[in-house]
Amino acid sequence: MPATIYDFTSESVSEGHPDKVADRISDAIVDLHLARDPEARVAVETLVTTNKVVLAGETRCAAAVNPDEMVEAARRVIRDIGYDQEGFSWRTADVDVLVHGQSVEIAQGVDEGEGKPEGAGDQGIMFGFATDETESLMPAPIAFSHAIVGALAKARHEGQQHELEPDAKSQVTLRYEDGRPVRADSVVVSTQHKDGFSQAQMREIVRPYVLEVLPEGWMCEEDDFYVNPTGKFVIGGPDGDTGLTGRKIIVDTYGGAAPHGGGAFSGKDPTKVDRSAAYAARYLAKNVVAAGLAKRCLIQLSYAIGIAHPLSVYVDFAGTGEADEDAVAKTLREVMDLTPRGIRMHLGLNRPIYERTATYGHFGRKPEADGGFSWEKTDLADELKRAF
C-alpha cells in the first residue's frame, strides 16, 4: 500500500543563480527573434562564468538579428538581474556570439510543404502535471520554494534588503498525511550577501520571508531551519560557479513531483515540442483538475521528428479520478489540436513572451494580458465538464 505519511522535498533557485542567468539570456535571445519574426527558429545555449558569456546555437529569422543585438540583450539581462560585481558585471563581461543558421536537414523535416503538415522539431516525450493541493494547481513544495526566493529577490530589487545579492537557493520539505501537505519539516535557504554579515544575521533577514510564504502554523522547528549552512555566501553567481542553459529542468517544472521527459525549455522557439508540448501537457492537466475530473493528473505526450501528430497521449489520475482515463485521453485529442502548429495557435506561443518564464518556474504562474503563461488558463474546464 502507498505510504499515507511521508515527506517530500523540492528546491528552487533565484534569477541570479548561474544556470538561471544562462536560461534567461537564452530566452531573451528567443524573444529578440520572435519580436522580429513570429515564425523565427531559435535554438541558443548560453554559458556564463567569471565575467564571460558565450552564446552558441542556430537561428533562422526573416529579419536578421545581428550579433551586436544579442550582446546588448545579454548585457541588459545581467543588468536587470543586478550583477555589477568585480567578477561578473553587465558593464565589463566579455560576450562571445557563436550563432549560425539553422541546419537545412532539420528545417526540411520540420517545415510545412506541399501536402505535408509541419512536423515536430525532434522526437521526445513531454509531461504535464496538476494537483489540487494549491490554488495554482501546483505541488506545494515547489510552489513554496519558488515563492521564497521570489520574495527575497523582490525585497532586493525594491531596496528593502541591501544586504542581499542576486544568487540564492531554497529547499522546502513538507510532511504529507493522507496525500495532503500539512506542515514544513525543514526549510533551507542559501542567499548570497554583501561581506560583513554573519550567518546569524542572515538567518533573521531571511526568516520573515519564509514565514510570509508558508501558511500560518506551518513553519518547521528551529533546528530544521537552515540559512547559509556553509556560514558565508559572498562569492556567488557566475563568478562562483559556471552556469549553463537547461540545467534546472526540475526547478522549471514540478520539483520532482512528476516525471520529466528530459528536454529543457529555455533558448528554444515554440516549434520545439520540448517546450510547446510540455506547455500543452500542463495546460491540459490543469484543465482536467480544474474541471473536477481528478485531484491529480499526469499527462504524457510523445512525438517523432518531422511527424505532426503526437504518437501517444497518456493520462494517469493516480487513483483520484472521477472519469475513465482512456476516455479523457481521447477527449483531450478532440478539444485541442496537439500538432506543433496547433499547440502554438491554441496557446498563442509565437510571441516574445519567454524571458519571463526563465525564473521561478514555467508553471503555476498567472496568465498575462499579452499572452504570457497562456498555458495556465483553465478555459477548457467547462468543456471537459460537459464531456463527462
Binding residues for L-methionine: 58, 102, 241, 272
CB 206 within 8 A of CB 168: no
Measured in degrees and rounded to the nearest 5, phi and psi for residue 192 equal -65, 145
Is the separation of the CB atoms in 153 and 15 below 8 Å? yes
Query: Using an 8 Å Cβ cutoff, are 11 and 251 in contact?
Result: yes
Which residues make up each annotated binding site for Mg(2+)? 19
- Burial class for 240, CB neighbours closer than 10 Å (0-12, 13-18, 19+): middle
C-alpha cell of residue 267: 533558448
Report the binding-site residues for ATP: 17, 167-169, 232-233, 241, 247-248, 264, 268
Using H for helix, E for strand and C for coil, what is the string for 15-76?
Answer: CCCHHHHHHHHHHHHHHHHHHHCCCCEEEEEEEEECCEEEEEEEEECCCCCCHHHHHHHHHH
1, 169 contact by CB (below 8 A): no
Identify the sign of the CA torsion 158, 162, 165, 171. Answer: negative
Q: What is the largest CA-CA distance in the chain?
A: 67
In the chain, alpha helices (H): 18-36, 67-81, 104-110, 140-157, 199-213, 237-240, 249-252, 273-290, 325-335, 340-347, 381-387
CA dist list (Å): 92 to 79, 98, 310: 11, 19, 46
Positions at the binding site for K(+): 45
Place of cell 491554441: 346
Mark the binding-site residues, compressed into ranges.
17, 19, 45, 58, 102, 167-169, 232-233, 241, 247-248, 264, 268, 272
